[in-house]
Structure 1
Amino acid sequence: MEKKFNQVFQFKITLKGIRPPIWRRIQVPEFYTFWELHVAIQDAMDWLDYHLHQFEMKNPFTGKQTLIGLPADDYDWSRNTLPGWEQKIGLWFTPQNNLALYTYDFGDNWEHKVQLEKILPREREIKYPICLSGKRACPPEDCGGVPGYYELLEIIKNPADERYEETKMWLGRKYDPEYFNPKKVIFDDPDIRFRRAFDDETQ
Structure 2
Amino acid sequence: MAKKRVYQFRADLKGIKPAMWRRFQVSENETMQELAVRVMWIFDFLEDNWYSLTELVGDQFKREYQKKRKELQSTGQDAGPKITPLDPRMKNISYVMEKQRAADLKDWTPNIVQPGQTRLKESQAQAGSTFLFEYDLHANWEVKLKLEKIVEEDIADTRLPRVLKGKGPGVMGALDIEDLKQLVADDLVDLDDFDLEDLNYAIKGIE
How much does 1:150 deviate?
2.1
CA contact (8 A) 1:72 1:78 kept: no
Identity of aligned residues (%): 26
Alignment deviations for residues 105-132 of structure 1 (CA, whole Å, 9 cap, x no partner): 2221211110000111224256100000
How much does 1:66 deviate?
2.1
Mind listing any 5+ residue stretches in structure 2 that lack a counterpart?
Answer: 62-87
Aligned residue pair count = 167
User: Structure with the greater relative contact order (CA < 8 A, sep ≥ 6): 1 or 2?
Assistant: 2
TM-score relative to the length of structure 2: 0.68
Partner of 1:7: 5
Take 1:51 and 1:5, find their aligned partners in 2: how far apart are those partners?
37
Pick the structure with greater CA Rg: 2
CA contact (8 A) 1:137 1:177 kept: yes
Equivalence map 1:25-174=2 (5 Å): 25-59=23-57, 63=89, 64-70=91-97, 72-73=100-101, 79=107, 81-85=113-117, 87-90=118-121, 91-95=123-127, 98-124=129-155, 127-141=159-173, 143-154=174-185, 157=188
Instruction: Report whether the alignment pairs 1:181 with 2:207.
Output: no
Q: Which amino acid aligns with 2:6?
A: V
Q: Which amino acid aligns with 1:117?
A: E
Q: Which amino acid aligns with 2:101?
A: D
Q: Which amino acid aligns with 1:188?
A: K
Alignment deviations for residues 41-91 of structure 1 (CA, whole Å, 9 cap, x no partner): 122222222211111224589532121133753895773643312x12222
Take 1:75 and 1:139, find their aligned partners in 2: how far apart are those partners?
32
Take 1:189 and 1:75, find their aligned partners in 2: how far apart are those partners?
29
Q: Which amino acid aligns with 1:178?
A: D
Q: Which amino acid aligns with 2:95?
A: I
Mind listing any 5+ residue stretches in structure 1 that lack a counterpart?
Answer: 158-174, 191-203
TM-score relative to the length of structure 1: 0.69
TM-align CA RMSD: 3.0
